[in-house]
Amino acid sequence: MFATAIALPLVALIGFGLYDRAQAEFRAAEEIALRSAKSSADYAWTYVDDLRRTLEALARRPQVRAMDATRCDPDLEDLLALYPRAASFIVVNLDGAIVCSAPPLRDDGVVRIADEELLREMLAGPRFRMSQPILSRITKRWLVSAVQPVIDENGALVGTVAVGTELVRWRPFPRLGAATADALLMLVTSDGTIIARSSESEEWVSRKMRNDTFMKHMLAEQEGFFRARGEDGVNRIWGFAQVAGLPWFALAGVPTDLVLGPARERLARTGGLVALTVGLLLASSWGVSARLSKPIARIAAAVRERAERRSQVRVPEDGPVEVNQVARELNRMIDSVAQAEAEIRRSNAELEARVRERTARLEDANKELEAFSYSVSHDLRAPVRHIDGFVKLLEASQPPANDDAARYLAKITAASRKMGELIDDLLTLSRTARAPLKRTDVDLGALVASVVQELQPDCAGRRIEWRIGPLPTVSGDRGLLRVLLQNLLSNSAKYTRSRELAVIEVGAERLESDEKAVFVRDNGVGFEMQYRDKLFGVFQRLHSDTEFDGTGIGLATARRIVVRHGGRIWGEGQPGHGATFYFTVEGAAE
């Protein structure tokens, strides 16, 4: 394993280095091929442009303009000596007949040019042109002709003057350096006909390239490089570039083996070195493994036993020096862990005892508080009823002496009733905490409809639109859930009194936490969100008694009921735009 862990990254690193270098060499070969192709294209254009200038000068000579076979220009022979790569210079009339030529014709008959299609193109548009590869009727060799129109003194086309370049001997290529000595250079037409080749030209000139994919790529890109198998079956990296102003392309092909050869040699050398290195690593790894495997196995077994809570286990210290040092450190660590575990157990025991004690005290205090609240609320009801009753008897037996007395009695009556409502709400709040939960399946839709029906007498004379959507069935105490809905719906009815049309909506929606929440929404006066923490506190009110009556206990009761059902409740609102109260109940069904 140790040797593998070292050898695999080493092999991967070396392989990546070899691959990266091979790619760099391929890119360098592509650049060399493209530069060679561009140089060949420039060289061919220079040669053709030189022919064009020579023919332009020749076409202006009187002997040529005369188109008279008896007055051939003697300079044609001299030009042939100046252009050793030229096969012939000829003067052709408009009928396609050769009037004069150098070298001279072999017999006295009339000889016509071979490329009559080029003559027709020249008649249609007189300008300098280069022909397709043709087989010369004079020399019987393949050539390409540079043709210039001959215009007489009156501006009329009277014929053409042309020079034929023999393709087998033509080498329109620059001298190659050492880096490209083995490159193959070619000049081809746009239809793939080979018109010049740096080697074996006699065999290849006039043949067509059969790689259609290469030709399409070359015609589409005009300049670039391509990897393909040549017509001779050799894989090459080709650079190509178009000859300026001509439908010709210069190609330079570097054999792929020239690039892969050095890469293969490096791979062989490096592979041998890697194999030797891995072998040494495996041998050394086997020796180390044989020496260390048994002591390490005993240490591993001891650690597993210790992990299974066998506190008396010790790691054996009977191996080589290095292994013994590890074993001693592990034993120290085991001792430290054992001491820490013992301390944690003592701390946990003490903490659990404190929690039980404080929980018991808290439960006792809550029970005493609830009992006190219930007792106070219950005991206060009788005196408050007495006050209200005696005031009524006083009003019946002896009318008030004046308006002030009547107002005082009315205030006493209102205060006693307010006190009675407050006591009733406190008793309800106390019962929600004291009463045991009697869980059943509760249809909240039916329960809401029942509560709305109960509120109808208090809402008489008002325009209220109740929007009751689908509601879930929950597991809970039907009585407590009725109190919850009574508080929320009566609040919505109360805080929408100022609306000409009150809208109260009850529904359910799925929260982002995947909980099912029930909501009660209204278009009432709303509230400031900064005071939302006060909504569910006892005696906490956000509106005065002159605006809306109430005791400030309803939402506190609602919160206690929801908490007892394992849920949560919260509110959202905006002044003047209503409020929405949400609550969840544990175990709500779909």
Query: Residue 346 has which token pair?
Result: 């003592």
Q: What is the distance in angstroms between the CA of the first residue and the CA of the last residue of the chain?
A: 56
Q: Torsion over CA of 315, 319, 320 and 322, rounded to 10 degrees?
A: -10
pLDDT band, residue 506 (cuts 50/70/90): very high
Mean pLDDT of 266-291: 64
Mean pLDDT of 557-582: 88
pLDDT for residue 358? 80
Mean pLDDT of 227-231: 78
Domain membership flag for residue 169? yes
Mean pLDDT of 533-561: 67
Same domain for 403 and 344, yes or no, is: yes
Same domain for 460 and 546, yes or no, is: yes
pLDDT for residue 379? 61
Same domain for 299 and 340, yes or no, is: no
Task: Please state, rounded to an integer, the average pLDDT across all residues of the chain.
Answer: 77
pLDDT band, residue 503 (cuts 50/70/90): very high
Over 80: is that where the pLDDT of 241 sits?
yes
Same domain for 469 and 428, yes or no, is: no
pLDDT band, residue 341 (cuts 50/70/90): confident
Q: Which residues is 393 bridged to in the sheet?
A: none
pLDDT for residue 93? 86
Mean pLDDT of 325-343: 76
The CATH number of the domain holding residue 400 is 1.10.287
Mean pLDDT of 399-415: 68
Residue 295: Cβ-neighbour burial (10 angstroms; 0-12, 13-18, 19+): buried
Same domain for 529 and 397, yes or no, is: no
pLDDT band, residue 138 (cuts 50/70/90): low
Q: What's the pLDDT tens digit per position in 361-377?
A: 766 666 665 666 666 55
Q: What's the pLDDT tens digit per position in 521-538?
A: 999 888 888 777 777 766
Distance set, CA 306 to CA 310, 312, 330, 333, 337 (Å):
5, 8, 11, 11, 10
Query: Residue 83 has which token pair?
Result: 């252009």
Same domain for 408 and 263, yes or no, is: no
Domain membership flag for residue 326? no
Mean pLDDT of 399-426: 65
pLDDT for residue 342? 79
pLDDT band, residue 110 (cuts 50/70/90): very low
Mean pLDDT of 154-172: 83
Query: Of 371, 489, 376, whose CA–CA distance to 431 is shortest?
Result: 371
* % of the chain residues with pLDDT over 90: 8
Q: Which residue has the higher pLDDT, 11 or 237?
A: 237
State the residue range of the domain holding 424.
335-434
The CATH number of the domain holding residue 43 is 3.30.450.20
pLDDT for residue 388? 65
Q: What's the pLDDT tens digit per position in 413-465?
A: 666 665 665 566 566 655 666 667 788 899 999 999 999 998 888 888 889 99
Domain membership flag for residue 230? no
pLDDT for residue 87? 78
Same domain for 443 and 500, yes or no, is: yes
Q: Which residue has the higher pLDDT, 391 or 584?
A: 584
Domain membership flag for residue 579? yes
pLDDT for residue 580? 92
434, 458, 476 - which closes a domain: 434
Query: Residue 214 has which token pair?
Result: 């290469």
Q: Cis omega (within 30 of 0) on the bond before 436?
A: no
pLDDT for residue 454? 87
Do residues 58 and 64 lie in contact, with contact meaning Cβ atoms separated by under 8 Å?
yes
pLDDT for residue 130? 85
Q: Torsion over CA of 437, 442, 444 and 450, rounded to 10 degrees?
A: -90
Over 70: is that where the pLDDT of 472 sits?
yes
Domain membership flag for residue 249? no
Q: Which residue has the higher pLDDT, 308 or 168?
A: 168
387, 412, 434 - which closes a domain: 434
Do residues 473 and 589 lie in contact, with contact meaning Cβ atoms separated by under 8 Å?
yes
- Look at residue 526 and give its three-state secondary structure: coil
| Cβ neighbours of residue 176 closer than 8 Å, sequence gap 6 or more | 36, 183, 185
Over 60: is that where the pLDDT of 281 sits?
yes
pLDDT for residue 522? 93
Over 80: is that where the pLDDT of 466 sits?
yes
Residue 350's CB is within 10 A of a number of other CB atoms, namely 10
Same domain for 416 and 521, yes or no, is: no
Same domain for 130 and 148, yes or no, is: yes
pLDDT for residue 290? 59
Same domain for 469 and 579, yes or no, is: yes
CA distance 512 to 117: 81
Domain membership flag for residue 458? yes
Same domain for 447 and 543, yes or no, is: yes
User: Would the pTM count as exceeding 0.75?
Assistant: no
Mean pLDDT of 51-58: 88
The CATH number of the domain holding residue 572 is 3.30.565.10
Indicate the residue type of 53: R
434, 461, 488 - which closes a domain: 434
Domain membership flag for residue 501? yes
Domain membership flag for residue 236? no
- Look at residue 185 and give its three-state secondary structure: strand
Over 60: is that where the pLDDT of 179 sits?
no
Split into its structural domains, the chain has a count of 3
Q: What's the pLDDT tens digit per position in 26-35?
A: 788 888 888 8
pLDDT for residue 518? 92
* Element housing 189 (H / E): strand 184-189
User: If you compute the radius of gyration of the chain from its CA atoms, what whole number of angstroms results?
Assistant: 55
Same domain for 486 and 547, yes or no, is: yes
